[in-house]
Chain A
Amino acid sequence: MSTTTSDATESAQRRVARGVTVGTVVALLLVTLSGLEAWPLTSFRLFSTVRTGTSVGLELEAVAADGTRSPVRLPANQVMSTTTHQFAHLAHARPEVQRAKVRAWLATAGIDPATLTEVDLVRTTRSMDPTGTSHVVGNEIVAVVRP
């Protein structure tokens, strides 16, 4: 009797082993092939794009009433500094979303929106030579937000 119970338990554990292992591996493969990014599901794109000497970056510039332009600097911690990855979608966001996000970035940077006429999203293209010296080769305002 106990041997039968033990065999049944071992068989059940084998089924669990196959289900969990194959299920997890297949899920990882499918998520990778689909390109889904819904943490912790990820497509594991670590350094998977080819870098060249030309790089493109986006940054926010606060424009004061007197025309003075200054970069909006965010705290260095990983939680806040990585919100800059949202810049890429800012230009295509609805105006109310743009305004809410820009006001949030200004608050984090300690800048009073009342002192500004606008905040520009600037795309900067840089070229680096093999000596490691970087040159700005292009600046373009891709979105203007009134805070």
Chain B
Amino acid sequence: MRGLAARIDAALTAPGRWFRLVEVQTLLALVIGWRLLTRDWTLIADRPAALTQHLNVMAWYPGAPPAWLLVALQVVGVAAVVAVVARRRTRLAFLVAWLAYVALCAWWGASGKVMHNDVLTVTVTFPLLFARPPARGETGSSVAWGWPPRAALAVMATVYFLTGFQKLRHAGLHWVFGDNMSWILRQGAVDRAAGLASFVADHAWLAQGMAGGALALELTAPLWLSIRRTRALFAAAVLIMHSSIWLLLGIDYTAWILTVAAVAVPMSLRVDRPLFARPRVPAPQPAREPA
């Protein structure tokens, strides 16, 4: 057990190349920017104060936030994402983008229902707030650049494992082997996929296969994500799982798909291979002498 802990520690704290942290941080910032841009956050201001629930990180703020504050946070958050992408005051900019995103999402979800749409992005980006990204022109390897993407992987693996663990804890294997998935599909199917949902629900082996596949993927996430070569496969499997949920039930987990891709795909490459490799310029050939 001690040996395993030592190996995990060594893997976490090994030096890492400068470009990997830049890639993961930039891609995660772009996910945050995309979420900030694609919602009408002013809807929060339309929710009456009496219907605003305060059991979240923004509980300290009294009442409902005004529309101007929501738009200001959105603008500041997007500007901070641009700064991260441009690598200008990256550490501060990433923190500002994260804080704006967390504040807006907390208010968005303060209606009484626990919303998980953005929680993976918020959680996985958290370790990167403590990262010291390379300055422009700084290259090489360092412990400071190695651990943040690995910490993001560890947090991501934990989140997926816990979603599976909670299914087992509260429903047991009946979640897979009972008719649970069939009823989820019958009761929650969106109109566009009613026929497909009904087909799956009516074939127990198919519904149980879907449930078993989803649960297995969640519970084995730490394994997939601990091995470099299977990280990209995990991203592909997550894409299939969340896309099928969106198609059949209309629940949007796009932020989960993009967050997994932002971390798992760069981390699936060889340590010396950048995600966006510059095209190699062929060496100039010596001019041939005429015969």
Contact = CB atoms under 8 A, between A and B. Distances in A.
Given A42-B114, A86-B51, A17 B198 contact: no
Interface in B105-129: 105-106, 108-116, 118-119, 122-123, 126-127
A9 B15 CA distance: 12
B183 A38 contact: no
B186 A40 contact: no
A84 B47 CA distance: 12
A82 B162 contact: no
Contacts of A44: 116, 159, 162-163, 166
A79 B47 contact: yes
Interface string A43-60: 111111111110100000
B55 interface: yes
A12 B138 CA distance: 19
B151 A39 contact: no
A30 to B, nearest CB: 11
A142 interface: no
Contacts of B194: 132
B43 interface: yes
A135 interface: no
A79 to B, nearest CB: 4
Contacts of B59: 38
Contacts of B230: none
Contact of B144 (A13, A24, A39, A41): A13
Nearest to B48: A104
A76 B162 CA distance: 31
A83 interface: yes
Given A17-B143, A45-B170, A24 B126 contact: yes
Contacts of A14: 13, 143, 147
A29 B151 contact: no
A121 to B, nearest CB: 14
A82 B201 CA distance: 26
A32 B55 contact: no
Interface residues of B, number: 71
A28 interface: yes
- A78, A97, A107, most chain B CB atoms within 10 A: A78
Choose among B9, B51, B167 the residue with the greatest number of A CB atoms under 10 Å from its CB: B51
B53 interface: yes
A85 B183 contact: no
A24 B151 contact: yes
A82 B111 contact: yes
Contact of A39 (B56, B148, B159, B167): B56
Given A28-B159, A82-B113, A47 B13 contact: no
B205 interface: no
Contacts of B144: 9-10, 13
Contacts of A138: none
B112 A85 contact: yes
Given A18-B9, A128-B183, A82 B143 contact: no
A139 interface: no
A20 B155 CA distance: 10
Given A79-B43, A80-B46, A38 B57 contact: yes
A79 B127 contact: no
Contacts of B106: 39-40
28 contacts: A13-B143, A13-B147, A17-B13, A17-B147, A20-B127, A21-B127, A24-B127, A24-B155, A25-B154, A39-B110, A40-B122, A40-B123, A41-B57, A44-B116, A45-B166, A50-B180, A52-B183, A55-B187, A79-B43, A79-B111, A80-B51, A82-B109, A82-B115, A83-B112, A85-B112, A86-B53, A104-B49, A104-B51
Given A79-B46, A100-B50, 15 more contacts: A10-B142, A10-B144, A13-B143, A20-B147, A21-B151, A24-B155, A28-B123, A39-B110, A48-B175, A52-B183, A80-B43, A82-B113, A84-B112, A97-B50, A105-B51
